[in-house]
Amino acid sequence: MTPESSPASAVSTAASPHTSSSGSEWWRTAVIYQIYPRSFADADGNGIGDLRGITTRLPALADLGVDAVWLSPFFRSPQRDAGYDVSDYCDVDPLFGTLDDFDTMLATAHDLGLKVIVDMVPNHTSSDHVWFQQALAAPEGSPERDRYIFRDGKGKHGELPPNNWESVFGGGMWTRTTKADGTPGQWYLHIFDTSQPDLNWENPWVREQFRDILRFWLDRGVDGFRVDVAHGMIKQAGLPDYTPPEDGASMGGTGGVDRDEFTPLEPLIQDPVTPPDPPYWGQEGVHEIWREWHEVLAEYPGDRVLCAEAWVDPLEKVALWVRPDEMSQAFNFAYMFTDWKAPALKRVIQESLDAFGGVGAPATWVLSNHDVVRHASRLALTADSPQGAGIGPKSPGKPDAALGLRRARAASSIMLGLPGSAYVYQGEELGLPEDMELPDEARQDPTWFRTGGEKYGRDGCRVPIPWESDRPAFGFNDTGASWLPQPAHWAQYAYDAQAGVPGSTLELYKLALRLRHEHGLGSGELNWVKGYGKKVLAFRVSDVTVIANLGEVAVELPVADILLSSEPITGGVLPTDTTVWLHTP
């Protein structure tokens, strides 16, 4: 366990053996900005963002101080799951532009010193993909069918699905096909929407295709891949029935671990019972695929990153994804979903450093992305909001906006002080809240449709972001069109309303990112600082001490230069829901 030192003036001595990272690759310490292309910037004005729009706005990201951008999918797709349903992995969807536009964007990013990560979606294709169309046209048992997961149905006439698995988006995980003569045929598996058939990753042909797809983008010069549903690609042999626990997280995992009861001074204990993984998540066979992909990236000079979207518990298991010959990083969803409580945060941070550090990988940190309620709203919710359910007009426990923003600023100021690599989702640097008032008729997430409106889904975190407060669509484009309507009150969050304004959320992020680089926080070692009580999180990395007050009572600060504070500091005390960075050489 990482040693504790006493309040901020103490000099940490003992180095933790595996707190940040071992190696010099850029991604070990990088701050990676997620661009959701539909909603970032729209050059052609059709209401959906595009690659030319991204290129235009890249200088703002260089100015923000991030190291890399990750682009959610822009490949050819019928867009039934906002591009996570790919019909051609080696082309750009006309909605987003052309391969030339991609090359221009990539070159511009590189000129600005930004790395570019693209989003690979290997668990499933679109049902429009030629492979799936060929599979449907081919006879049962054919090589074409074996690229996907087709099975006979149960029941006298095969009228029942092959097992009881439920889709992440609601409804069953199987859809029955219709034969050429109009009679019902086999069923195919889809973890997500019916338009997203799962590939059969036991089939060497599928593996070979994807190695070539990786090379296609590596040849163009990309710096790595975020890998969608990395935990779902191999299914348990025999596809046994499975009933998830009531509180299971919808993208996977077991619904998280209760870290609230942790007392910081106690030794870390093993989490009690973690239920077994569902037969479609976290299976052993995925590791062989990552080793093959690792080899493909190694064919190219320089450091390239493979980042897993792996919704599995516990963190020790996630860490197996990032052993030295597998992926480079995995998202830390345990951190993302930790309650706003200091002991819980302390525990998950330490567990993350131990788990990832134990295999020589950097810890990663993330608070928001395109699948979860934005943290400027999530951190002030007063009712449960299961991942993927979203928040809408009729949801209970709506957050107080000011409290949410205050906590979000404090939370981001903790995250950007941690060693390892951090992910920032577009708009969080503006303090954007979730859009909780989207009208039903505007919704596009398949979750909304497949659950018959029971779950709002993820549209509320995907609304196009505001750039200029007095332009059409807040500068998202010139026409005012927007695939999801933007709330009128978002003018106050616009980039131009915050740039250069002391104390704005944008300037807070810029400062944090500048200081993070200057003080080498990404590659530093974390030492806990004690003496502030159970409701305060205090740690030291390099010559910076980060103190966050999550309690109700203000806390006296030691005498030291304040490098950054998430709220104004007066009278030498740290108010509630506030984080400071102190210079403690």
Residue 192 lies near ligand NOJ (rule: CB under 6 A): yes
- DSSP 3-state helix, strand, coil percentages of the chain (rounded to 5)? 30, 15, 55
Question: Site for ligand NOJ (CB under 6 A): which residue of 30, 54, 120, 229?
Answer: 229
Q: Positive or negative CA dihedral for 437, 443, 447, 453? A: positive
Tell me the three-class secondary structure of 493-545, residue by residue: HCHHHHCCCCCCHHHHHHHHHHHHHHCCHHHCCEEEECCCCCCEEEEEECCEE
Sole binder of ligand NOJ in the list 81, 277, 354, 525 (CB under 6 A): 81
Neighbouring C-alpha atoms within 13 Å toward the C-beta of 227: 28
Under rule CB under 6 A, residue 459 binds ligand NOJ: no
Give the sign of the dihedral formed by CA 419, CA 420, CA 421, CA 422.
negative
> Which residue in the list 100, 266, 288, 299 is annotated as catalytic?
299
Query: Which position among 223, 228, 277, 567 is part of the footprint of ligand NOJ (CB under 6 A)?
Result: 228
38 vs 540, which CB is nearer to ligand NOJ? 38
Smaller CB separation from ligand NOJ, 81 or 434: 81
Q: Which phi-psi region, left, alpha or beta, contains residue 65 (left: φ > 0; alpha: ψ -120 to 50)?
A: left
Residue pair 508/447 in contact (Cβ under 8 Å)? The answer is no
Task: Output the smallest distance, CB 321 to ligand NOJ, in A.
Answer: 15
CB of 70 to ligand NOJ, least distance (A): 11
- Verify binding: residue 371, ligand NOJ, rule CB under 6 A: yes
Give 260-285 as a DSSP string: TT--TTSPP---SPPPPPPTTSS-TT
In the complex, least distance from residue 463 CB atom to ligand NOJ, rounded to whole angstroms: 15
Q: Which tokens in the block code for residue 149?
A: 């997961």
Minimum CB separation of residue 231 from ligand NOJ in Å reads 10
Q: Which residue is nearest to ligand NOJ (CB)?
A: 84
Task: Specify the residue, 117 or 547, whose C-beta has the smaller distance to ligand NOJ.
Answer: 117
Q: Does 36 bind ligand NOJ (CB under 6 A)?
A: no
Which among 228, 313, 351, 435 is annotated as catalytic? 228
Rounded CA-CA distance 39/486 in Å is 10
Q: Nearest approach, Cβ of 85 to ligand NOJ (angstroms)?
A: 7
Examine residue 233 and tell whether it contacts ligand NOJ (CB under 6 A).
no
Taking the least distance from each CB to ligand NOJ, the nearer of 92 and 310 is: 310
3-state SS of 235-262? CCCCCCCCCCCCCCCCCCCCCCCCCCCC
Q: Are 72 and 83 in contact (CB under 8 A)?
A: yes
339 is catalytic: no
Nearer to ligand NOJ, 81 or 326 (CB): 81
C-alpha span between 35 and 43 (Å, rounded): 15
Q: What is residue 76's three-state secondary structure?
A: strand
Least distance to ligand NOJ, CB of residue 419, Å? 26
How far apart, in Å, are the Cα atoms of 58 and each of 41, 61, 220, 388, 406?
A: 10, 5, 19, 29, 27
Residue 260 CB neighbour total at 10 angstroms: 11
Give yes or no for residue 84 binding ligand NOJ (CB under 6 A).
yes
Query: Is 121 near ligand NOJ (CB under 6 A)?
Result: yes
For the four alpha carbons of 543, 540, 567 and 561, in that order, the dihedral sign comes to negative
Q: Catalytic annotation on 228?
A: yes
Instruction: CB nearer to ligand NOJ: give 413 or 447.
Output: 447
x-or-dash string of contact with ligand NOJ, 284-323, rule CB under 6 A? -------------------------x--------------
Q: How far is the CB of 38 from ligand NOJ (least distance, A)?
A: 11
Show which residues are catalytic. 228, 299
By CB under 6 A, name the binding residues for ligand NOJ. Answer: 81, 84, 121, 192, 228-229, 309, 370-371
